[in-house]
Each structure stands twice: as structure tokens, then as C-alpha cells.
Amino acid sequence: MKKIKYEIKKIISNIMNIKIEKINEKTNLFEELKVDSLDMIEITMAIEEKFEIEIPDSDLENLYTIDLIVQYLQKNK
């Protein structure tokens, strides 16, 4: 699970151009990192490619922390 969290942090760090150390499991992507809808689409596409999963658009608004994304991946893999 630590590897999954790290990979998600790395994706977000690269897309948002911020240091990975500024992201933790509880960081709110929308409020704290100012992720907008286009950023979220890019993040989602990268996560889908990395973890070979398809995430419906309707689920995106509920995936606003690393923990929630990891839980989603574990539940839907």
C-alpha cells in the first residue's frame, strides 16, 4: 500500500509541479493543492494508466485525498 500511495503522490507532484513532500495522505487536492477539473482529468488519466483501471467521471469528485484514491483503487481493482 505504501508503494501505491507513493506512486499517486508522484503522479500528483509531477502534474501539479510541486514537491512530493508537500503531499500527504490527507491533503485535499482541490482545497490545498488547487487542483482544477483539467488537472484532475490529467491526474486521473495517469492513475488509470499506471494502475490499469478505469475511473468513471462520476467518481472523481469523491477522490480528493490520497487515502480516498488508494481505497478506491483497492476496492475496484
Task: Tell me the mean pLDDT per 10 residues along the chain, length 77.
Answer: 94 97 95 95 97 94 94 92
pLDDT at 61: 86
Give the CATH number, domain containing residue 54: 1.10.1200.10
Q: Whole domain around residue 70: which residue ranges?
A: 2-76
Helix axes 66-76, 2-16, angle to 10 degrees: 120
**Other CB atoms within 10 Å distance of the CB of residue 50:** 14
pLDDT at 49: 97
pTM for the model stands at 0.93
For the chain, what is the domain count? 1
